């Protein structure tokens, strides 16, 4: 799997969070309305602050913070298809609509932009999410 999925998990921070399991992360939060979150500057800000550790987190945000290091390390190899799709959507929307918040997340979770570069390369080559 590509590192683009790493970013997916990162942006999944916007709402699609997961729990570490043996083979896959739990699908417990797969039904979160990601569009509702991404359409709200307030909600995006809350999730970003959660991931940055500057504000409290909802349960799914706490779970995401817990699994994010593993997901980044393994290129989201334990993500379900729904989680990958949500992560890609979140990445694309954050880059487009919330560039300041996106930069803060990258600075914290991908300071060298290695995962972002791999994600961008994967997308340019027409990589599939699932």
pLDDT digits 0-9 by tens, 67-115 = 777 777 777 778 888 888 887 888 889 999 999 999 999 899 888 888 7
pTM (2 d.p.): 0.74
Highest mean predicted confidence (pLDDT) among 3-12, 45-54, 62-71 = 45-54
CA dihedral 92, 51, 48, 12 (to 10 degrees): 30
Supply the pLDDT for residue 33: 92
Backbone angles phi, psi at 6, to 5 degrees: -60, -50
CA angle 25, 82, 91 (to 5 degrees): 95
Distance of CA 5 to the CA centre of its chain: 8
Supply the pLDDT for residue 41: 96
Supply the pLDDT for residue 17: 39
pLDDT of 20 strictly over 60: no
pLDDT mean across residues, the chain: 79
* CA atoms 30, 31, 35, 39: torsion sign: negative
The share of the chain scoring above pLDDT 90, in percent, equals 35
| Cα distances (Å, whole numbers) of residue 3 to 8, 9, 71, 103, 119 | 9, 10, 10, 18, 6
Supply the pLDDT for residue 53: 94
């Amino acid at each position: 799997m590509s590192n683009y999925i790493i970013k997916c998990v990162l942006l999944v921070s916007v709402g699609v969070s997961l729990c570490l399991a043996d083979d896959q992360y739990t699908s417990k939060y797969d039904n979160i309305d990601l569009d509702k979150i991404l359409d709200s500057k307030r909600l995006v800000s809350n999730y970003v602050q959660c991931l940055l550790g500057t504000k409290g987190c909802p349960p799914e945000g706490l779970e995401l913070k817990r699994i994010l290091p593993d997901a980044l390390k393994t290129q989201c190899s334990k993500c379900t298809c729904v989680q990958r799709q949500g992560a890609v959507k979140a990445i694309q929307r954050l880059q487009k609509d919330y560039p300041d918040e996106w930069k803060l997340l990258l600075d914290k979770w991908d300071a060298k932009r290695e995962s972002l570069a791999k994600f961008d390369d994967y997308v340019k080559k027409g990589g599939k999410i699932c």
